[in-house]
């Protein structure tokens, strides 16, 4: 009995050790998969066929933009959200039997393959070129061409598993990214709704998130509130009348005069060639009540009574 019990105990220990090894083996694959998913989720590529521009997002921010060439006709370059499934150096051009790395190869020397339908990176890709003058034009059979230096850089930066969104849009890259579930950090376009006195408003120039603050385009914002705005380019000064208040503000200054009295504010700033002011300071300057409902992603402005 004693010998049999000892044998059973030894067998139990062997089985336990084996199970632990299996668990560790499976676990190593699980963690590797999680790490890859997290890494790929930090990046996004957007190709806008309307502008023939490619944007590369990394760690929640727009990192770089590049000119590209797309399909000769609108339908040749497919639209949608496609995963990068392979990255190949010096891929041959099988159709015309041109070796990889050959200067005549229309694919260039870098291939970032996209999973479009059942093609699994074999048909559609972001790749190089054999004619730099073609970039920026509608000339390809469906793939996205880049300048040689640009595709070399992108090839080294982008991870397999990253998604590429191909679209034709008038929206900003940040807006397209947000619409596709990409989490933006720091700067970007506000993707929520703006209500003035309970009425939904649309804006030609977006409210922006800059350094985690919301900024509103000054001219369009004040005009949306029923005000008038005059800009003196020589002195870089805005004079506005909004909500019964007279406002004078010099671009990038940390103060403004409201009905002749100095008011402290966060400095305004230019986005492109347009002046933006912090949304929270609109209340100080105009008398409007400003509320931001973060959960609903809604900005509400209500006129003073």
Active-site residue set: 127, 143
**Helices assigned H by DSSP within 180-286:** 218-224, 279-286
Cβ atoms 62, 178 nearer than 8 A: no
Mapping DSSP to helix (H, G, I), strand (E, B) and coil, where does residue 250 land? strand
Gap between the Cα atoms of 28 and 155, Å rounded: 27
Q: Give the sign of the dihedral formed by CA 275, CA 281, CA 283, CA 289.
A: positive
Could you tell me if 247 and 240 are in contact, meaning their C-beta atoms sit under 8 angstroms apart?
yes
Pairwise CA distance, residues 143 & 126, whole Å: 6
Our CA dihedral for 16, 21, 23, 24, rounded to 10 degrees, sits at 140
Identify the bridge partners of residue 299 per DSSP, sorted by sequence position. 194, 292
What size, in residues, is the chain? 305
Contacts of residue 74, Cβ cutoff 8 Å, sequence gap at least 6: 49, 168
Helices (H), the chain: 2-41, 148-157, 173-179, 218-224, 279-286
């Amino acid at each position: 009995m004693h010998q049999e019990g000892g044998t059973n105990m030894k067998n139990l220990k062997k089985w336990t050790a084996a199970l632990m090894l299996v668990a560790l083996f499976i676990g190593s694959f699980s963690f590797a998969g999680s790490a890859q998913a997290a890494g790929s989720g930090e990046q996004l590529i957007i190709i806008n066929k309307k502008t023939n521009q490619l944007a590369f997002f990394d760690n929640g921010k727009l990192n770089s933009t590049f000119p590209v060439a797309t399909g000769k006709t609108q339908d040749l370059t497919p639209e949608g959200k496609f995963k990068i499934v392979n990255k190949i150096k010096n891929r041959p051009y099988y159709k015309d039997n041109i070796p990889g790395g050959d200067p005549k190869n229309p694919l260039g020397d870098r291939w970032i393959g996209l999973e479009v339908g059942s093609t699994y990176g074999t048909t559609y890709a972001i790749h190089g070129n054999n004619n730099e003058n073609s970039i920026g034009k509608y000339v390809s059979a469906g793939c996205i061409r880049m300048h040689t230096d640009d595709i070399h850089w992108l090839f080294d930066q982008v991870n397999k598993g990253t998604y590429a969104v191909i679209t034709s849009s008038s929206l900003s890259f940040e807006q397209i990214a947000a619409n596709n579930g990409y989490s933006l950090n720091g700067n970007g376009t506000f993707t929520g709704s703006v209500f003035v006195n309970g009425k939904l408003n649309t804006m030609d120039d977006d409210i922006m998130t800059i350094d985690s603050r919301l900024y509103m385009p000054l001219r369009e914002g004040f005009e949306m509130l029923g005000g008038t705005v005059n800009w003196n380019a020589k002195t870089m000064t805005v004079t506005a009348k909004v909500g019964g208040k007279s406002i004078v503000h010099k671009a990038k200054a940390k103060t403004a005069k409201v009905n002749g009295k100095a008011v402290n504010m966060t400095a305004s700033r230019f986005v492109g060639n347009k002046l933006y002011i912090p949304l929270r300071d609109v209340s100080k300057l105009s008398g409007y009540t400003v509320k931001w409902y973060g959960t609903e992603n809604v900005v509400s402005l209500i006129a003073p009574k």
